[in-house]
């Protein structure tokens, strides 16, 4: 058989997909933390040695007893769909955890399990936002909050909170941001990226504002709750004011405390009406979280918690070392974070300085690229977190890597003029 060689039979160039894309995607960008990880991987693949301070996950393995529970679940046939809201065993374990550690009372039908805390946050916004609804997002913020609001038709209202307030929302700035369109306040403590932890008194001051506005809902992201240092302690806002429970969604998960990022288990606890709506969205998207991961999460919550205490002690030592070494670099100013596992140093003191390529540093993005190219140290710009002139540097890596990276930063900055 002869092949038709006419031009119209030749493979056609792939069509432009732009016409099929939704207009709302124009207001959304890819996750900067995921982009940073890809950049580090590409540089390492090219043979470059990189000290990676972008890591947003514990660097140690999932504790053995949790892994064993997941393996046992697989061997015992827990390989099928579960209820969209999660297994009864896991939802009960979450309720027990909230009562034991946070003195909060929930029933299993007020709990929904997702494939990570991020999915729970996304679906909560999807379930509750109408076009034009406003969501107050204190900055610095976790990079995904504003984009998840925008993709669900909402308007993120960014409220900047700098070093003067300890990177924390004040009652005055909260009140000023509220409008008739305000639907949610998202509060993250301990905070990513700043490590700020709200005290009971600071939460009480915010509660006083919220109690004057009964139509505003509160989403409290407590994923880093166990990682607090020194005299700081984690307090859930519902411990301060239980009356807010009728309009509060607590979000948490297994990823950080138990080094289970890849297991993808997060959860929300809140009013039944919202939980049911999130469950419905799960049933129409991912169906449910992985059964074996849910079994492992039960073991994590119900088992010995020494693995968490050990992780906190290790991160505390790493925090102290990174803060010490960063503050030895002229032009960098780093306060010790009270929580999470990130330093958030100011790099404004490097602005205006010139490197070997004769290009002056004028922003945190310039400093980020300078450190990557000249020092082989990867970080994430503060602009991505709504706070220019800062960098996020994770200490979820070894002391050796921290010391090596900080020495490289100091050496590279010494070349600036």
pLDDT for residue 9 is more than 80: no
Q: pLDDT confidence of 61, banded at 50, 70, 90? A: very high
Beta bridge partners of 188: 221
Q: Where are the domains of the chain?
A: 22-61+307-413, 80-303
CATH of domain 22-61+307-413: 3.90.1150.10
Three-class SS state of 351: coil
Which tens digit of pLDDT belongs to each residue from 206-218? 999 999 999 999 9
Q: pLDDT confidence of 33, banded at 50, 70, 90? A: low
Q: pLDDT confidence of 20, banded at 50, 70, 90? A: confident
Which pTM value belongs to this model? 0.92
- What pLDDT, on the 0 to 100 scale, is given for residue 30? 76
Task: Quote the tokens at residue 155.
Answer: 């308007």
Which tens digit of pLDDT belongs to each residue from 252-262? 999 999 999 99
CATH of domain 80-303: 3.40.640.10
* 22-61+307-413 and 80-303: identical CATH topology: no
Distance CA 251, CA 283 (A): 19
Sheet containing 182-188: order of strands: 111-114, 266-269, 248-253, 217-221, 182-188, 134-139, 155-160
Three-class SS state of 390: strand
Task: Give how far Cα 31 sits from Cα of 55, 144, 186, 242, Å.
Answer: 13, 7, 18, 34
Is 175 exposed, middle or buried, given 0-12, 13-18 or 19+ CB atoms closer than 10 A? Answer: middle
């Amino acid at each position: 058989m002869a092949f038709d060689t006419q031009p119209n039979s030749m493979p056609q160039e792939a069509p432009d997909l732009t016409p099929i894309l939704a207009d709302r995607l124009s207001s959304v960008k890819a996750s900067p933390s995921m982009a940073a990880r890809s950049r580090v991987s590409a540089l390492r693949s090219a043979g470059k040695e990189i000290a990676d301070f972008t890591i947003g996950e514990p660097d140690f393995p999932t504790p053995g007893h949790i892994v064993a529970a997941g393996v046992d679940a697989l061997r015992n046939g827990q390989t099928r769909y579960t209820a969209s809201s999660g297994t009864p065993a896991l939802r009960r374990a979450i309720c027990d955890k909230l009562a034991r550690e946070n003195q909060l009372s929930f029933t299993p039908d007020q709990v929904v399990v997702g494939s990570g805390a991020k999915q729970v946050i996304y679906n909560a916004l999807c379930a509750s936002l109408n076009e034009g609804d406003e969501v107050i997002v204190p900055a610095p913020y976790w990079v995904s909050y504003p984009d998840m609001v925008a993709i669900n038709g909402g308007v993120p209202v960014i409220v900047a909170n700098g070093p003067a307030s300890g990177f924390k929302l004040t009652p005055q700035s909260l009140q000023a941001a509220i409008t008739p369109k305000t639907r949610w306040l998202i509060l993250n403590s301990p905070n990513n990226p700043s490590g700020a932890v709200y005290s009971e008194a600071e939460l009480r001051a915010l509660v006083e504002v919220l109690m004057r506005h009964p139509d505003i809902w509160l989403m409290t992201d407590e994923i880093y709750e166990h990682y607090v240092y020194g005299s700081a302690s984690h307090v859930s806002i519902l411990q301060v004011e239980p009356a807010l429970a009728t309009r509060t969604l607590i979000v948490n998960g297994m990823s950080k405390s138990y080094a289970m990022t890849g297991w993808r288990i997060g959860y929300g606890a809140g009013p039944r009406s919202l939980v049911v709506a999130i469950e419905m969205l799960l049933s129409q998207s991912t169906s449910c979280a992985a059964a074996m991961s849910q079994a492992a999460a039960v073991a994590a919550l119900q088992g010995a918690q020494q693995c968490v205490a050990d992780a906190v002690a290790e991160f505390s030592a790493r925090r102290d070392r990174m803060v010490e070494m960063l503050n030895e670099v002229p032009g960098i100013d780093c306060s010790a974070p009270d929580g999470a596992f990130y330093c958030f140093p100011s790099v404004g003191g490097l602005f205006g300085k010139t490197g070997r390529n004769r290009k002056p540093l004028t922003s945190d993005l310039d400093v980020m690229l300078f450190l990557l190219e000249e020092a082989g140290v990867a970080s994430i710009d503060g602009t991505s977190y709504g706070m220019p002139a800062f960098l996020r540097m994770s200490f979820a890596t070894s002391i050796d890597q921290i010391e090596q990276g900080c020495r490289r930063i100091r050496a590279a900055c010494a070349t600036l003029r």
